[in-house]
Amino acid sequence: MILDEFTKVTGYHRKHAIRVLTTQATSEPKTRVVRRVYYEAVKEALIVLWEASDRICGKRLKALLPLLLGAMERYGHLQLDEDVRTRLLAMSTSTIDRQLHLVREHACGRRKQRSSTTNRVRKLVAVRTFADWEEQLPPGYLEIDLVTHCGPRLEGSFVHTLVLTDIVSGWTECIALPVREQALIVEAISGLRPKLPFPLLGLDTDNDSAFLNDTLWNYCQEQGIVFTRSRAYHKNDQAWVEQKNGAIVRKLIGYGRLQGLTATAALRRVYEASRWYVNFFQPSFKLKSKYRQGARVHKTYYRPETPYARLMTREDVPCETKEMLKERMGSLDPVMLLKHIRDAQDGVMALSENRTPEVVAPDVADFVSSLATAWRAGEVRPTHRQAPKPGRWWRSRPDPFAEVWPVLLGWLEEQPDLEAKTMLKRLEASGYGEFPDGQLRTLQRRVRVWRMRIVQQLVYGQPPAAPNQSENAGAAVI
């Protein structure tokens, strides 16, 4: 009964209350006696052995100690007292690392730690995964990400693209930034908000320090914007914007290197031309449901729709916004927008290739007429065209007719219409060697090149090419 009353009054756990009641109080506190096993001589010897082992870790040094200590004593580099030697070999790996901790920090420097500001903001921002988005979410919750235009190398300064994608409608906006800086990101978001067809309600970012900082956090708190982040190394948490990075940014711009304010302005012109084209004339899929059956994941999608069409069917979008979007849709010419995109892409490609961009007058009639045959030219996007590969002019095999070509040339000059098959049989009959049947095609190509050269001389009045050049031209196709 006393114990029950004591636990109710003090709130102690029953076992802790028993220990308190049965322990006799002492006036003098107990002092812990520290037994220093590894004194300075052992530590100094350990430092010498650590340096002799080229500063390896404690686990490797523990395994090396007997061998290294024996070798150093054998050659007279180190002479230890028997007690010091025994204590040194009895050290555990944890004790070795603990004894060498301050020595390592002084010799190698402290390990670079993450910024305390980033860690603090990271703890303040809530984590939101792909499955946490609600079904009846209103438009205005955007996922944002940065796309770099650095080309094959990351050194130096280069242009970035800030991509913002609405979760509900798929409405996507792209903004060119000359550098990766948190103040520029806030300015870009502030300038974009009046252009959006819906109020900005939330931002979801990755764990980049350009987003997780006091600048963007304070801006979201002041403006009443919900600020969330994805999990580290889980790109699927930002699946909406990650898909647009490839389907829009890389498709429009490619993977070339862009740097400087001039390139930023050219990139801005591409995004201004593609903004209406992407959101009004580019349908996209939206995931409806998925379930796993064994190792296979079955996914069901809604019918492909444009962001404009999705916003027009939403009941939570105001009528004024729908009227504005409908009016904008009626004033857009998709072919003209595509022509502006191609011209802006050509300007970006010129900067990527370090050449002056050409100013082309917008001729829509010629552009429309070229759409029917554009497929024959291959890639139509200037930012994705590759330089044509030079033709192969060298031989990959020895020329079987190198020694007998002067003889063949004399026969052709006497009788230009002589067939290659007849010439091959005549060579074998004249004792110039044996030529397999597979070399007939090679001789036919050589004869055709010679005849083309003669035709150019007779018809166009061009001087015949040198024999070596004609032979190399024929060898290139063999």
Q: Is the pLDDT of residue 477 over 50?
A: no
- 125 touches 216 (CB < 8 A): no
Of 108, 132, 153, the residue at which a domain comes to its end is: 108
CA dihedral 409, 413, 417, 422 (to 10 degrees): -40
What pLDDT sits at residue 358? 62
The number of folded domains in the chain is 3
Residue 375 placed within a domain: no
Residue 323 placed within a domain: yes
Of 277, 310, 329, the residue at which a domain comes to its end is: 329
Of 282, 302, 329, the residue at which a domain comes to its end is: 329
Verify that 151 and 265 share a domain, yes or no. Answer: yes
Verify that 307 and 442 share a domain, yes or no. Answer: no
Verify that 308 and 452 share a domain, yes or no. Answer: no
CATH number where 135 lies:
3.30.420.10
Residue 461 placed within a domain: yes
Residue 341 placed within a domain: no
Please write down the long-range contacts of 232-238, taking CB distance under 8 Å and 24 or more positions apart. 232/207, 234/129, 235/206, 236/130, 237/128, 237/129, 237/130, 238/130, 238/143, 238/145, 238/204, 238/206
What pLDDT sits at residue 468? 47
Give me the percent of the chain exceeding a pLDDT of 90: 34
Verify that 92 and 140 share a domain, yes or no. Answer: no
Average pLDDT taken over every residue of the chain: 85
Residue 412 placed within a domain: yes
Verify that 102 and 149 share a domain, yes or no. Answer: no
Verify that 199 and 295 share a domain, yes or no. Answer: yes
Verify that 188 and 235 share a domain, yes or no. Answer: yes
Verify that 298 and 195 share a domain, yes or no. Answer: yes
Q: Which of the two residues, 373 and 168, has the higher pLDDT score? A: 168
Q: What is the pLDDT of residues 115-143, one digit of tens each?
A: 555 678 888 999 998 888 777 789 999 99
Verify that 175 and 249 share a domain, yes or no. Answer: yes
Verify that 226 and 135 share a domain, yes or no. Answer: yes
Residue 69 placed within a domain: yes
Residue 350 placed within a domain: no
Q: Which residue segment(s) compose the domain that 93 sits in? A: 40-108
Verify that 124 and 189 share a domain, yes or no. Answer: yes
Q: Is the dihedral of CA 296, 298, 304, 307 positive or negative?
A: negative
Q: What is the pLDDT of residues 331-340, one digit of tens each?
A: 988 888 888 8
Verify that 307 and 179 share a domain, yes or no. Answer: yes
Residue 132 placed within a domain: yes
